[in-house]
Chain A
Amino acid sequence: METILNVLFSGVFHASTLFLVAAGLQVVFGVQKVFNLACGTFYALGAYFGITVVKLLVDHGFPKPLFIAPLIAAGLLLGLIVGPVIERGLMKFVYDRDETFQLLLTFGIVMMLEDVIKFIWGTSPQSMGGIDLMYGQLNVLGATVPVYNLIVILCSLIIAGLIGYLLLNTKFGRIIRATADNREMSEALGINMKVVYIKVFTLGTVLGTLGGALVIPAGAAVSEMGVELIVLAFAVVVIGGLGSMKGAFIGALVVGVLKSIAISTYPELEMLTVYIIVIAVLVIKPEGLFGGSRV
C-alpha cells in the first residue's frame, strides 16, 4: 500500500510540472494554432535559470528555507522576458503561413535555445543539491512524501485554478476562447490580434519556464531535458486533446502517473507505454479525450 501511494504521489508531482508545460502548449495551440516545439526548451531554461538565481541569492545571504519564492519569481520573470522577445522577434512572421512552417520555425528556435543553454550553463548536469528536502517529509496516508513535492502540486493546482478562472471569468479569457474558436470572426469584431498573440505566447512561455523552475529542486538539469520533455508534453497534449486545458490536466495525470508506475515496476516499458498510448489515442480518437474535432 505504501509503495503504491509513493508511486502515485511521485506521479502526481511529475504530472504537476508536466501540466504546466502542457498548459503552455495548449493555450498557444488553441489560440495561435502553432504547436510550439520550443516549449520543452522553455522548461529547460526555467530549470537552469532557477538554479542560477537561487544559488546566487543563497550565496549572498538569502535565507535558504525561503528559496521557493525567488524560484517562482525566476520562472515567471524569465518567461515574461523570453516570451515576447521570441514572439515579436520570430513567431509573428509566420502566422499567415502553413502550420508545417510554423512547426519548423519552432524547431529552429529549439536548436538555437539548446545552444544558448549550453553556452550559458555548459553541458554538465546542474542541480540544487537536494534543497527540496529542506522542507522535510510528510507522512500522507502512509506514504512518505517530500513536503516540497506537495507544495509544487499545490502550486500547480492553484495555477490550474487561476487559468480556469482566467479563461472562464475574465475578458481576456473570453477573448482567448473566442479567438481559439474562430479567429477571423474575432478579428472582425475588433479584437487586436497582435496584442492577443503576444499575451498568449508569453503566457505559454511563462507556464513552461515556471514548470521547469518548480521541478528542478527535486532533480537535475541536464542538457537533453528540453528535447525529452517536449515529447512527453506532446503525449499529454495528444491524450488530453489539442487545445483543451481540461485535457492538459487529465493528460498530465495520466502520463505522470503512468511514467511513475512504469519506473517502479517495469522500467523497460516506461516510455514505450506512453508512446503506444499516444499512437492509440491518435488512431482511435485523434481529438483526444477533450479536444475539439480537428483532423
Chain B
Amino acid sequence: MENALGITRLKNLGLPLVIIVGLLLLGLPLFAGQFLSYLMLTFFAYAITVIGFNLLFGYTGLLSFGHALFMTVGAYTAAFLTSSFSLPYMELILVVAVIVSTLLAALIGAICVRYIKIYFAMLTLAFGMLFYTFLLKFYYMTGGDEGMRVLRPFLLGIDFSETPKMQFLAGSYYFYAFVILAILTFVMWKIVSSPFGLCLKAIRDNPEKAEYLGVSVKKYRWYAFVISAAYAAVGGALLAPAVGQVDPGLTYWTQSGTLVFMSLLGGFEHFFGPMIGGIVYILLQDKVMSLTSYWRFIFGAILTFVVIAAPGGIAGVVSSLTKRRARGG
C-alpha cells in the first residue's frame, strides 16, 4: 500500500520519470507508425477508465465486475450525439457522458455500496448485464446487437471530416485524447493524495476502524463509485470515435473483467499500476493476436499467474525489486 512516504517519494523520484514518459507519449505519432499511434489512442481511453476504476478497486477496496457499464454509457453517448442527434461536438459528448454516468452511478452506487466483497462484485455484475440486455432489447433506439455507428466528432469546434481517418486518429484526435488523459491523471493524483484519498485507503484497510474514527464509510464509497464511473464514461466516450462503432457487447461482464485484469496486471496498489497494466495488455494483445487466435488462453494464463504468483502486479514486482536493491541485496 502506498503510504504517505510513497507519495512524497514519487514526487521526488517519479515525477521526472512521469514527465519523460508523458513527453514520449506526446511525441509518439512523430516517430511511430499510424497503427501504433492508434493502439496508443485506445490505450489512452482505457487508461482513463482504469485509473478511475482503481480509485474504487485499489484505493477503496471494492471490486466492481460491472464497470464496463459506465464505459459503455460514454461510448453510446458518443454514438447518439454523433449519429442520432447530429451534435458531433466532442466537448458536448464528454460533458453529457459525465452527467449521464454520474447520475446513473449515483443511483446504482447508492444500492451497491451497502454491500461489500463478493456481494458488491455480484451486484455490479448484475447491473452490467442488465444494461447489456437493455441495449439489446431496445433495439429501435440502440440498434440492438448490431450496435450504432459513431461518426467523427468535431474537436474544439473544428470539423475534421475532410481528414483521412488514420491521419485524424493518429494526429489531432491522438493529442486531444492525450491532453484529456493528462488532465484527468493529474486530477486523480490530487484526489488520491487528498484527505479524502486517505479516508478511502482507511476504508480499504479496515472499514470498521475507519467508522470508529468517524469516517462515513458508505458515503465515501459512494463518492469513489461515482467518480470512477465518470472516469469510465470519459474513457468510453473517447474510445468510441476511435473504434467507430458501439454495440451492447461493450458492457458484457467479460469486458468488466478486462478492466480488472488490466488493473491487476499493472498493480492495483500503485497509482500508475493500472495504466501500466493497460498499456501492457493492449500492446501484448495486439502482438499475441497476430500470432495466434488463442490469445485468450495466453491472457487467461497470465491472469492466473499474476493472481497466484504476483498479486501486486508489474508495479508490485518492480517496487519490491527496487526495495531489495536499496537494502543492498
Contacts and interface: CB of A to CB of B under 8 A. Distances in A.
Chains A and B touch (C-beta atoms under 8 A apart): yes
B290 to A, nearest CB: 16
B117 A110 contact: no
A104 B307 contact: yes
Contacts of A107: 257, 260-261, 303
A113 B303 CA distance: 13
A234 interface: yes
B226 to A, nearest CB: 18
A100 interface: yes
Contact of B304 (A108, A116, A270): A108
Nearest to B299: A111
Contacts, number: 114
A286 interface: yes
16 contacts: A35-B121, A99-B117, A100-B118, A101-B307, A103-B63, A103-B121, A105-B307, A107-B261, A112-B296, A231-B129, A235-B126, A275-B133, A279-B126, A279-B130, A282-B122, A282-B123
B119 A295 contact: yes
Interface in A184-203: none
Given A105-B307, A279-B130, A295-B119, A100 B63 contact: yes
A151 interface: no
Interface string A252-291: 0000000000000000111110011011001100100000
Contact of B297 (A35, A116, A278): A116
Contacts of B65: 103
Contacts of A275: 126-127, 129-130, 133
Contacts of B115: 282, 286, 295
Interface in B116-171: 116-119, 121-123, 125-127, 129-130, 133-134, 137
B306 to A, nearest CB: 8
Interface residues of A, number: 42
B254 to A, nearest CB: 6
A115 B137 contact: no
Contacts of B300: 108-115
Given A108-B307, A111-B297, A114-B296, A100 B117 contact: yes
A139 B260 CA distance: 50
Contacts of B252: 227
B296 A231 contact: no
B308 interface: yes
A231 B304 contact: no
In this complex, the member of B119, B133, B134 whose beta carbon has the largest number of chain A beta carbons within 10 angstroms is B133
A242 B115 CA distance: 14
A93 B133 contact: no
B117 A227 contact: no
Interface of B: 63, 65, 111, 115-119, 121-123, 125-127, 129-130, 133-134, 137, 252-254, 257, 260-261, 264, 293-297, 299-304, 307-308, 311
Contact of B137 (A231, A272, A295): A272
Contact of A104 (B133, B294, B303): B303
A111 B121 CA distance: 18
B127 to A, nearest CB: 7
Contacts of B257: 107
A282 to B, nearest CB: 5
Contacts of B118: 35, 99-100, 103, 242
Contacts of A88: none
A22 B300 CA distance: 23
Contacts of A227: 252-254
A47 B277 CA distance: 35
B114 to A, nearest CB: 8
A295 B116 contact: yes
B296 A111 contact: yes
Contacts of A103: 63, 65, 118, 121
Contacts of B119: 282, 286, 295
A64 interface: no
Given A35-B118, A104-B307, A283-B111, A269 B296 contact: no
